[in-house]
Protein backbone atom coordinates (compact mmCIF):
# COMPACT_ATOMS: atom_id res chain seq x y z
CA UNK A 1 0.00 0.00 0.00
CA UNK A 2 1.47 3.33 -1.12
CA UNK A 3 0.69 6.37 1.04
CA UNK A 4 1.33 9.81 -0.42
CA UNK A 5 2.26 12.45 2.16
CA UNK A 6 2.46 16.21 1.90
CA UNK A 7 4.75 17.81 4.46
CA UNK A 8 6.78 14.60 4.67
CA UNK A 9 9.95 16.49 5.62
CA UNK A 10 8.28 18.42 8.44
CA UNK A 11 8.24 17.63 12.16
CA UNK A 12 5.16 15.42 12.01
CA UNK A 13 5.82 14.12 8.51
CA UNK A 14 9.17 12.57 9.41
CA UNK A 15 7.54 10.51 12.15
CA UNK A 16 4.62 9.52 9.91
CA UNK A 17 7.05 8.32 7.24
CA UNK A 18 8.89 6.27 9.85
CA UNK A 19 5.65 4.82 11.26
CA UNK A 20 4.37 3.89 7.80
CA UNK A 21 7.63 2.14 6.96
CA UNK A 22 7.58 0.28 10.26
CA UNK A 23 4.04 -0.89 9.47
CA UNK A 24 5.15 -2.34 6.14
CA UNK A 25 3.57 0.44 4.05
CA UNK A 26 5.33 2.53 1.42
CA UNK A 27 5.45 6.26 2.13
CA UNK A 28 5.55 8.49 -0.93
CA UNK A 29 6.53 12.11 -0.20
CA UNK A 30 4.49 14.48 -2.35
CA UNK A 31 6.65 17.56 -2.74
CA UNK A 32 5.02 20.51 -4.47
CA UNK A 33 4.16 24.11 -3.62
CA UNK A 34 0.51 23.96 -2.58
CA UNK A 35 0.00 27.45 -3.95
CA UNK A 36 1.00 26.29 -7.46
CA UNK A 37 -1.95 24.46 -9.02
CA UNK A 38 0.05 23.25 -12.01
CA UNK A 39 2.88 21.93 -9.87
CA UNK A 40 0.45 20.02 -7.70
CA UNK A 41 -1.26 18.54 -10.75
CA UNK A 42 2.09 17.37 -12.15
CA UNK A 43 3.04 15.81 -8.80
CA UNK A 44 -0.26 13.91 -8.59
CA UNK A 45 0.00 12.71 -12.19
CA UNK A 46 3.52 11.43 -11.59
CA UNK A 47 2.57 9.49 -8.45
CA UNK A 48 0.72 6.22 -7.97
CA UNK A 49 -0.75 5.93 -4.47
CA UNK A 50 -3.62 4.37 -2.54
CA UNK A 51 -4.17 7.06 0.11
CA UNK A 52 -3.12 10.65 0.76
CA UNK A 53 -2.16 12.09 4.15
CA UNK A 54 -2.09 15.88 3.89
CA UNK A 55 0.12 17.34 6.62
CA UNK A 56 1.68 20.35 4.90
CA UNK A 57 0.56 23.63 6.43
CA UNK A 58 1.60 27.00 7.76
CA UNK A 59 1.38 26.16 11.43
CA UNK A 60 2.99 28.47 13.96
CA UNK A 61 0.07 30.43 15.40
CA UNK A 62 2.05 33.49 16.50
CA UNK A 63 3.19 34.20 12.96
CA UNK A 64 2.05 37.68 11.90
CA UNK A 65 2.04 36.85 8.19
CA UNK A 66 -1.65 35.94 8.25
CA UNK A 67 -1.94 35.88 4.45
CA UNK A 68 0.20 32.75 4.34
CA UNK A 69 -2.22 30.87 6.59
CA UNK A 70 -4.97 31.16 3.98
CA UNK A 71 -2.71 30.82 0.93
CA UNK A 72 -1.36 27.49 2.19
CA UNK A 73 -3.83 26.02 4.67
CA UNK A 74 -7.03 26.93 2.84
CA UNK A 75 -6.36 27.60 -0.85
CA UNK A 76 -3.39 25.22 -0.99
CA UNK A 77 -5.56 22.39 0.31
CA UNK A 78 -8.26 23.24 -2.23
CA UNK A 79 -5.65 23.08 -5.01
CA UNK A 80 -4.57 19.68 -3.74
CA UNK A 81 -8.10 18.28 -3.48
CA UNK A 82 -9.00 19.60 -6.91
CA UNK A 83 -5.99 17.87 -8.48
CA UNK A 84 -6.56 14.58 -6.67
CA UNK A 85 -10.28 14.56 -7.53
CA UNK A 86 -9.50 15.01 -11.23
CA UNK A 87 -6.58 12.61 -11.46
CA UNK A 88 -7.29 10.08 -8.68
CA UNK A 89 -11.09 10.23 -8.13
CA UNK A 90 -12.39 8.27 -5.15
CA UNK A 91 -9.06 8.49 -3.32
CA UNK A 92 -8.98 8.53 0.48
CA UNK A 93 -7.60 11.87 1.65
CA UNK A 94 -6.79 12.40 5.32
CA UNK A 95 -6.53 16.12 6.00
CA UNK A 96 -4.79 17.49 9.08
CA UNK A 97 -6.80 20.32 10.57
CA UNK A 98 -6.24 21.47 14.17
CA UNK A 99 -7.86 21.70 17.57
CA UNK A 100 -7.40 25.44 17.10
CA UNK A 101 -10.71 25.35 15.21
CA UNK A 102 -12.52 25.01 18.57
CA UNK A 103 -11.09 28.30 19.81
CA UNK A 104 -11.34 29.42 23.42
CA UNK A 105 -15.10 29.37 24.02
CA UNK A 106 -15.20 25.63 24.67
CA UNK A 107 -13.84 24.15 27.90
CA UNK A 108 -13.13 20.67 29.25
CA UNK A 109 -12.66 17.64 26.99
CA UNK A 110 -14.06 18.77 23.66
CA UNK A 111 -15.92 16.44 21.29
CA UNK A 112 -15.92 16.70 17.52
CA UNK A 113 -19.47 18.06 17.70
CA UNK A 114 -18.40 21.20 19.60
CA UNK A 115 -19.05 24.55 17.87
CA UNK A 116 -16.10 26.04 15.99
CA UNK A 117 -14.94 29.44 17.27
CA UNK A 118 -11.36 29.99 16.04
CA UNK A 119 -9.50 32.70 17.92
CA UNK A 120 -6.70 33.40 15.43
CA UNK A 121 -5.95 33.34 11.70
CA UNK A 122 -4.39 29.90 11.88
CA UNK A 123 -7.52 28.40 13.40
CA UNK A 124 -9.75 30.32 11.00
CA UNK A 125 -7.74 29.10 8.00
CA UNK A 126 -8.26 25.53 9.20
CA UNK A 127 -12.03 26.07 9.61
CA UNK A 128 -12.11 27.46 6.07
CA UNK A 129 -10.17 24.42 4.87
CA UNK A 130 -12.60 22.04 6.58
CA UNK A 131 -15.67 23.79 5.18
CA UNK A 132 -14.26 23.99 1.68
CA UNK A 133 -13.20 20.35 1.69
CA UNK A 134 -16.87 19.39 1.92
CA UNK A 135 -17.26 20.45 -1.71
CA UNK A 136 -15.04 17.53 -2.73
CA UNK A 137 -16.71 14.85 -0.58
CA UNK A 138 -18.74 13.61 -3.55
CA UNK A 139 -15.52 12.84 -5.43
CA UNK A 140 -13.11 11.86 -2.65
CA UNK A 141 -13.14 9.82 0.58
CA UNK A 142 -12.20 12.66 2.95
CA UNK A 143 -11.46 12.36 6.67
CA UNK A 144 -10.33 15.33 8.75
CA UNK A 145 -8.18 15.06 11.86
CA UNK A 146 -8.12 17.71 14.58
CA UNK A 147 -4.84 17.27 16.45
CA UNK A 148 -4.48 18.83 19.89
CA UNK A 149 -1.07 19.88 21.21
CA UNK A 150 1.66 17.30 20.67
CA UNK A 151 5.41 17.41 20.91
CA UNK A 152 8.57 15.34 20.64
CA UNK A 153 12.21 15.27 19.62
CA UNK A 154 12.81 17.61 16.72
CA UNK A 155 10.03 20.09 17.38
CA UNK A 156 11.14 23.71 17.12
CA UNK A 157 12.04 25.34 20.44
CA UNK A 158 9.64 28.18 19.57
CA UNK A 159 6.96 25.80 20.86
CA UNK A 160 6.28 25.59 24.58
CA UNK A 161 7.35 22.06 25.55
CA UNK A 162 10.67 22.05 23.64
CA UNK A 163 11.40 25.48 25.11
CA UNK A 164 10.89 24.21 28.66
CA UNK A 165 12.86 21.00 27.99
CA UNK A 166 15.76 23.00 26.55
CA UNK A 167 15.89 25.15 29.67
CA UNK A 168 16.13 22.05 31.84
CA UNK A 169 18.78 20.47 29.62
CA UNK A 170 20.83 23.66 29.88
CA UNK A 171 20.08 23.80 33.61
CA UNK A 172 18.99 27.39 33.22
CA UNK A 173 18.33 29.34 36.41
CA UNK A 174 15.14 31.01 35.17
CA UNK A 175 12.49 30.64 32.49
CA UNK A 176 9.88 33.14 31.25
CA UNK A 177 6.39 31.65 30.89
CA UNK A 178 2.77 32.75 30.77
CA UNK A 179 -0.22 31.30 32.62
CA UNK A 180 0.97 28.32 34.65
CA UNK A 181 -2.40 27.07 35.83
CA UNK A 182 -4.04 26.36 32.48
CA UNK A 183 -4.45 22.66 31.72
CA UNK A 184 -3.97 21.37 28.19
CA UNK A 185 -3.84 18.09 26.28
CA UNK A 186 -0.20 17.31 25.40
CA UNK A 187 0.35 14.33 23.12
CA UNK A 188 3.42 12.61 21.70
CA UNK A 189 4.27 12.92 18.00
CA UNK A 190 5.08 9.18 17.85
CA UNK A 191 1.55 8.29 18.95
CA UNK A 192 0.12 10.83 16.50
CA UNK A 193 2.13 9.22 13.69
CA UNK A 194 0.83 5.78 14.66
CA UNK A 195 -2.71 7.17 14.59
CA UNK A 196 -2.24 8.39 11.02
CA UNK A 197 -1.06 4.93 10.00
CA UNK A 198 -4.15 3.42 11.57
CA UNK A 199 -6.43 5.91 9.84
CA UNK A 200 -4.81 5.25 6.47
CA UNK A 201 -5.49 1.53 6.72
CA UNK A 202 -9.01 1.45 8.24
CA UNK A 203 -11.84 0.52 5.90
CA UNK A 204 -14.18 3.25 7.12
CA UNK A 205 -13.45 6.54 8.88
CA UNK A 206 -15.55 9.25 10.53
CA UNK A 207 -15.63 12.60 8.75
CA UNK A 208 -13.79 14.32 11.62
CA UNK A 209 -11.75 12.88 14.45
CA UNK A 210 -9.80 14.38 17.35
CA UNK A 211 -6.17 13.33 17.76
CA UNK A 212 -5.62 13.78 21.48
CA UNK A 213 -4.85 11.90 24.69
CA UNK A 214 -7.99 12.73 26.68
CA UNK A 215 -5.74 13.77 29.60
CA UNK A 216 -4.80 17.34 30.57
CA UNK A 217 -1.77 18.73 32.39
CA UNK A 218 -0.90 22.22 33.57
CA UNK A 219 2.38 23.97 32.84
CA UNK A 220 3.11 23.60 36.54
CA UNK A 221 2.70 19.82 36.11
CA UNK A 222 5.25 19.80 33.30
CA UNK A 223 7.75 21.81 35.35
CA UNK A 224 7.23 19.43 38.29
CA UNK A 225 7.81 16.33 36.14
CA UNK A 226 10.98 17.76 34.61
CA UNK A 227 12.23 18.84 38.03
CA UNK A 228 11.71 15.32 39.37
CA UNK A 229 13.43 13.68 36.39
CA UNK A 230 16.45 16.00 36.29
CA UNK A 231 16.80 17.04 39.92
CA UNK A 232 17.14 20.61 38.66
CA UNK A 233 14.97 23.41 40.02
CA UNK A 234 14.23 26.40 37.84
CA UNK A 235 12.82 29.78 38.81
CA UNK A 236 9.68 30.63 36.85
CA UNK A 237 9.19 34.24 35.86
CA UNK A 238 5.72 35.09 34.59
CA UNK A 239 6.18 37.29 31.53
CA UNK A 240 3.12 39.55 31.02
CA UNK A 241 3.59 39.38 27.24
CA UNK A 242 3.06 35.60 27.40
CA UNK A 243 -0.10 35.80 29.51
CA UNK A 244 -3.32 35.33 27.57
CA UNK A 245 -6.29 37.20 29.01
CA UNK A 246 -9.47 35.18 29.58
CA UNK A 247 -7.55 31.94 29.04
CA UNK A 248 -9.68 28.79 29.34
CA UNK A 249 -8.73 26.80 32.43
CA UNK A 250 -9.11 23.28 31.01
CA UNK A 251 -8.95 22.42 27.32
CA UNK A 252 -8.42 18.90 25.98
CA UNK A 253 -9.72 16.47 23.43
CA UNK A 254 -12.44 13.89 23.88
CA UNK A 255 -11.02 10.65 22.43
CA UNK A 256 -14.11 8.42 22.35
CA UNK A 257 -14.36 8.56 18.57
CA UNK A 258 -10.61 7.99 18.20
CA UNK A 259 -10.71 4.92 20.42
CA UNK A 260 -13.75 3.54 18.60
CA UNK A 261 -11.96 3.98 15.28
CA UNK A 262 -8.50 2.77 16.35
CA UNK A 263 -9.22 0.18 19.02
CA UNK A 264 -5.56 -0.82 19.52
CA UNK A 265 -4.13 2.70 19.58
CA UNK A 266 -2.79 4.10 22.85
CA UNK A 267 -1.38 7.54 23.74
CA UNK A 268 2.04 7.88 25.31
CA UNK A 269 2.31 9.09 28.90
CA UNK A 270 3.60 12.66 29.14
CA UNK A 271 6.38 11.65 31.52
CA UNK A 272 7.69 9.20 28.92
CA UNK A 273 7.56 11.91 26.26
CA UNK A 274 9.48 14.39 28.43
CA UNK A 275 12.08 11.76 29.36
CA UNK A 276 12.60 10.98 25.67
CA UNK A 277 13.00 14.65 24.85
CA UNK A 278 15.42 15.23 27.71
CA UNK A 279 17.58 12.34 26.54
CA UNK A 280 17.59 13.18 22.85
CA UNK A 281 16.41 16.72 22.21
CA UNK A 282 19.30 18.97 21.17
CA UNK A 283 19.32 22.03 23.36
CA UNK A 284 19.89 25.49 21.95
CA UNK A 285 21.65 28.36 23.68
CA UNK A 286 19.67 31.24 25.17
Active-site choice (15, 70, 102, 122): 122
- Print burial letters for 126-162: b (CB count within 10 Å at least 16), e (below 16): bbbbbeebeebeebbebbbbbbbbbbbbbbebebbbb
DSSP calls for 231-264: ----EEEE-GGGPPTT--SEEEE--HHHHHHSTT
Beta strands in the chain (DSSP E): 2-6, 26-29, 51-54, 92-96, 108-110, 141-147, 150-151, 174-177, 183-184, 187-188, 208-211, 217-218, 235-238, 250-253
Measured between alpha carbons, how far is 29 from 147 in angstroms, rounded to an integer? 21
Active site residue 102: no
Q: Is 87 exposed, middle or buried (0-12, 13-18, 19+ CB in 10 A)?
A: middle
Give the CA distances from residue 133 to residues 59, 105, 127, 214, 220, in Å, rounded to whole numbers and listed in that order. 18, 24, 10, 27, 39
For residues 69 and 20, the answer to whether their CB atoms sit within 8 Å is no
Which residues form the catalytic set? 122
Amino acid sequence: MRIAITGASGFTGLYVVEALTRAGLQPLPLEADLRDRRAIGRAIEASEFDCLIHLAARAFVSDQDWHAFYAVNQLGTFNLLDAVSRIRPGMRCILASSAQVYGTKAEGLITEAAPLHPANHYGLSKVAMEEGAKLWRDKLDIAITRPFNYTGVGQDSAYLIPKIVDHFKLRSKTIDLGNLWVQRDFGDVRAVADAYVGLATREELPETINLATGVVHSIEDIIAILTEITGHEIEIQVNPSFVRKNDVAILGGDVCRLRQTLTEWEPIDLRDTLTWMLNEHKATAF
